[in-house]
Amino acid sequence: MGSIDVMILGQKYTIKGDASEEHIKKLANFVDTRMKEVYNATPGIAPLKAAILASLDIADELHKLREEQENIARNIEERADVLTRLFD
């Protein structure tokens, strides 16, 4: 388990984990970008509130992608069933 220093909103964080350094940096950059977007949209917002709003935005995106993935999987299953019945 390694550790890497990253910067998010000008603050240094030491992240420990099994993921590669490149992956951790990519995630930190993603979070930093989202938090900066919140700061730019709402000047003077407290860092904690910015983090919560960025987290909600990321959670919303994740939720939508999971729903989309479930719909795609369901569609594939339905099509596979149709194809299977054609061979019966």
Q: What is the pLDDT of residue 67?
A: 98
Tens digit of each residue's pLDDT (9 = 90 or more) over 61-72: 999 999 999 999
Tens digit of each residue's pLDDT (9 = 90 or more) over 28-49: 999 999 999 999 999 899 989 9
pTM higher than 0.85 for the full model?
no
Q: Which residues of 15-30 are buried (b: 16+ CB within 10 A; e: fewer)?
A: beeeeeeeebbeebee
Confidence grade of residue 87 (pLDDT, cut at 50, 70, 90): confident
Q: What is the pLDDT of residue 68?
A: 98
Tens digit of each residue's pLDDT (9 = 90 or more) over 5-20: 999 999 999 999 899 9
Q: Where are the domains of the chain?
A: 2-87
Q: What is the pLDDT of residue 37?
A: 94
Q: For residue 60, which of 24, 39, 34, 42 has the smallest C-alpha distance?
A: 34
